[in-house]
A and B are shown apart, each in its own frame.
Chain A
Amino acid sequence: MNTKEIEELLERYYEGETSLEEEKLLREFFSVDEVPEKLRQHQPLFRYFIDEASQSIGNEEQEKVLMRRISLFENQVSVSGIQPVQKRMYYLSGIAAGLLILFGLVFTFKSELLRKHFPGKETASTKMAYTQTQQALLLVSVGLNTGLDQVQRFTTLNNAMEQIQKINKFYNYQSQFINPEWMQSPSTNK
């Protein structure tokens, strides 16, 4: 194929008018190292296409991994029949969540439920609470009484003081009637 023909093909290539066979010819033409200077600028494009078309998903190791993952998926589907594992897990988790909520409700409203269904038990327990409170209050009052004993002593002292006060008052009253001068020099009047 001469340069002129290739140029013509290239022209049509860029217009999108070449057939697959013609495009293959172009790639073959540019795959060799000796390309006329005039056409060399088009070479990278076709070289790149050839290069890219030979690319595969990777080495054998990667391919094995891919196959294993796909076969794992296949097993997952076929073992469980119609329902894939994911779907079953979905239902199971729903049931588990429902049970959890139910238990939670039972525990939080347990006391209220008991009061409603067993009223006798409730009165017994309140009576017991009442007596217990009474006992506790009694204990407190006994404690208070021991304090009162100390105060009692203080009151007796206070009473004694009052008696003394009375004597004091009497003494003051008496001194008004007794002339001190008489007391000091009774001999002067004689």
Chain B
Amino acid sequence: MNILDFNTKVYPLKDKIYRLAKRMLEQNEEAEDLVQEVFIRMWKIREKLDEYNSLEALAMVTTKNLCLDKLKARKFPVESWNDQRRFIENIAEEMRPDHSDLLRGVKEAMNTLTEQSRMIIHLRDIEGYEFEEIAEVMGMEENAVRVALSRARKRIRELLVNKKSYEYQRN
């Protein structure tokens, strides 16, 4: 695969990689760096890229693994620093007129999920992947994906209902 092929087949995946990285790392800058890292990894194996059935699946698996590595490397003090940074970064995002409290509630609810279920619900409901594709990226059985997805969706519903009733009581 040459640079031209790379630019037309791999480069357009940038937004999908970015969205998944941001979902997992919850930081814009780190997610941007991770996109580069994924591209560099794929460029390194460009000779073998034609052997893969789906470049998108490969890119997503690479993103997933790199994100999990990054999360594992994080330590407690970094975590608390991240919270502050996340807060600052998110101000701009939440100032957007269409980004209401309710949407922020969904985001918060999603962040309480485990890494695995967060990834699954992201791939399904935001990226629109088939179960088969999610199973390939996650390295799971299709059935297990379906069960995890259902559990994640119900958990979010639960959290949103609780939050709503809590706010209602407070008002």
Q: Which residues of A contact B (CB under 8 A)?
A: 13-17, 20, 23-24, 41-45, 47-49, 51-53, 55-58, 62-63, 66, 69-70, 73-74, 77
Q: Judging by beta carbons under 8 Å apart, are A57 and B150 in contact?
A: no
Q: Judging by beta carbons under 8 Å apart, are A23 and B125 in contact?
A: yes
Among B40, B44, B100, B161, point to the contact of A41 (Cβ < 8 A).
B161
Which chain B positions have C-beta within 8 A of A42?
A: 157
B121-134 toward A: CB 8 Å interface, digit per residue (1/0)? 00011111010000
Q: Judging by beta carbons under 8 Å apart, are A16 and B150 in contact?
A: yes
With A16-B153, A48-B107, A62-B32 known to touch, is A57 a contact of B39 (CB < 8 Å)?
no
Which chain A positions have C-beta within 8 A of B15?
A: 55-57
Which chain B positions have C-beta within 8 A of A45?
A: 106, 156-157, 160
Among A16, A17, A52, A57, point to the contact of B32 (Cβ < 8 A).
A57
Q: Judging by beta carbons under 8 Å apart, are A44 and B102 in contact?
A: yes
Q: Judging by beta carbons under 8 Å apart, are B105 and A44 in contact?
A: yes
Q: Judging by beta carbons under 8 Å apart, are A57 and B130 in contact?
A: no
Among A15, A58, A77, point to the contact of B150 (Cβ < 8 A).
A15
Tell me whether chain B's interface is mostly helix, strand or loop, or mixed. Answer: helix
With A48-B106, A52-B126, A57-B32 known to touch, is A14 a contact of B43 (CB < 8 Å)?
no
Expressed in whole angstroms, the minimum distance between the Cβ of A69 and any Cβ of chain B is 6
Q: Judging by beta carbons under 8 Å apart, are A13 and B153 in contact?
A: yes
With A57-B35, A74-B43, A77-B43 known to touch, is A44 a contact of B128 (CB < 8 Å)?
no
Which of B19, B103, B105, B154 gathers the greatest number of chain A CB atoms within 10 Å? B103
Which of A15, A43, A56, A57 gathers the greatest number of chain B CB atoms within 10 Å? A57
Within 8 A of A (CB), among B1-52: 3, 14-15, 18-19, 22, 28, 32, 35-36, 39-40, 43-44
With A44-B102, A44-B105 known to touch, is A70 a contact of B150 (CB < 8 Å)?
no
Q: A58 to B31, alpha carbons, bound, how many Å?
A: 11
Which of A14, A48, A66 gathers the greatest number of chain B CB atoms within 10 Å? A48
Among B18, B40, B102, B149, point to the contact of A56 (Cβ < 8 A).
B18
Residue in B closest to A16 when the chains form the complex, CB atoms: B150
Among B99, B126, B149, point to the contact of A49 (Cβ < 8 A).
B126
Q: Judging by beta carbons under 8 Å apart, are B107 and A20 in contact?
A: no
Q: Judging by beta carbons under 8 Å apart, are A70 and B43 in contact?
A: yes
Q: Judging by beta carbons under 8 Å apart, are B150 and A51 in contact?
A: no
Which chain A positions have C-beta within 8 A of B19?
A: 52-53, 55
* Interface residue B147 (Cβ < 8 Å from any Cβ of A): yes
Q: A55 to B161, alpha carbons, bound, how many Å?
A: 26
Which chain B positions have C-beta within 8 A of A48?
A: 103, 106-107
Residue in A closest to B23 when the chains form the complex, CB atoms: A52
Q: A51 to B14, alpha carbons, bound, how many Å?
A: 17
B141-167 toward A: CB 8 Å interface, digit per residue (1/0)? 000001101100110110011001000
Residue in B closest to A45 when the chains form the complex, CB atoms: B106
Q: Judging by beta carbons under 8 Å apart, are B126 and A53 in contact?
A: yes
B98-121 toward A: CB 8 Å interface, digit per residue (1/0)? 111011011100000000000000
